[in-house]
Amino acid sequence: MKDVVISGTGLYRPPHIITNAELVEAFNAYAALQNEKNAERIAAGEVEPMVGSSVEFIEKASGIRQRYVIDKQGVLDPQRMKPHFEPRPDDQLSLMAEIAVEAGRQALQAAGKEGAQVDAVLCAAANMQRAYPAMAVEIQQALGARGYGFDMNVACSSATFALEQAVNAIRCGTASCVLVVNPEITSAHLEWRDRDCHFIFGDVCTALVVEAADTATAADRWQVLGTRLVTQFSNNIRNNAGFMNRCEDTDPDARDKTFRQEGRKVFKEVVPMAAAHIEQHLAELGHRPGQVRRYWLHQANLGMNQLVIKKLTGGEVGNDLAPLILDTYANTASAGSIIAFHEHRADLHPGDLGVICSFGAGYSIGSVVARRL
């Protein structure tokens, strides 16, 4: 089988930042409006009053300090509490494709590649803007890539699951160069009106060039030693939005049509799963957790990442071993571990070992073990 390398990465950051203080101010204004609207029902004991949020609550619960978003005004409007996107005609590049193209061009430039040298485009994200035509095919056309493209969705593990598909395509000879893009417009599926989760997500797009080692010309190359995926069904993270909703005569704005989770259950169940998954993957490749120079983990919760690393190494967790980008970007679904890889690999040396790992709804866990060349 051919050796495979990651030879370029790209990152699109939206133009707007929402700080925790700004978010809390908007949420608390919304809560006050709802309490005023439901004052009689609250007084009668029919409903509970909404409880406000705070910067301290958010940072203690998650480690998040801010997030990037494509639209800030709509999110911070207490009368709206969701982004506002202008609809685009069918002959205009869609929003999701637009940010993927920007990240993809960055990754191609880093790899020293042109769009025409790409054999496949995989668009992997927690949500797709539409059902068809595939976002990947639109991105493929915009970049001038050849071959084929397809979309895939494995929630917050979409990027690592797509990486395995890219690696396998190259190893079996059906492609020589694959572009993986992860356009995560998470602000559109987050319930900004729910105190327990209104602070979790941010928007971003990442991109990776995966190619045969013998075609790679970039100075910064990471040999993929192995990939490993696992899924286990759970309802603890769920979103019921889908094409059949209109046939069910349900409220399209109902609470179950956006992101929701049982956070404590997720923490308790996913941490040991993720730690065991990484340890087993490394063992299959003849390595131990202590030999890994850096872990680029899914960026959902500071405490979760710290506990995963403690279970693996038994020692204290520092930013050097497991870099955190969560504080700046918030949870960016499948893009989180790729952002960490993009921003925190330049200081590693040839021969250093690293693990990219994501974990999310499904449950789904994906890991990629790579070595710097």
Catalytic residues: 156
Polymer length of the chain: 373
- The answer to whether residues 123 and 141 touch, using CB atoms and an 8 Å cutoff, is no
Residue with tokens 């995963």: 308
Token digits of residue 91: 């002959």
Could you write out the DSSP letters of every residue in 197-242?
TTTSB--EEEEEEEEEGGG---SS-EEEEEEEEEE---SSEE----
Give 301's Cβ-side CA count (13 Å radius): 18
Give 365's Cβ-side CA count (13 Å radius): 22
Peptide bond into 132 cis (omega under 30): no
Give residue 101's region: left, alpha or beta (phi > 0; psi -120 to 50). Answer: alpha
C-beta contacts of 347-351 below 8 A and 24+ residues apart: 348/293, 348/294, 348/372
Report the SS3 class of residue 79: coil
- Helix runs in 212-335, H state only: 245-248, 263-284, 302-313, 326-329
Containing H/E element for 42? Answer: helix 39-43
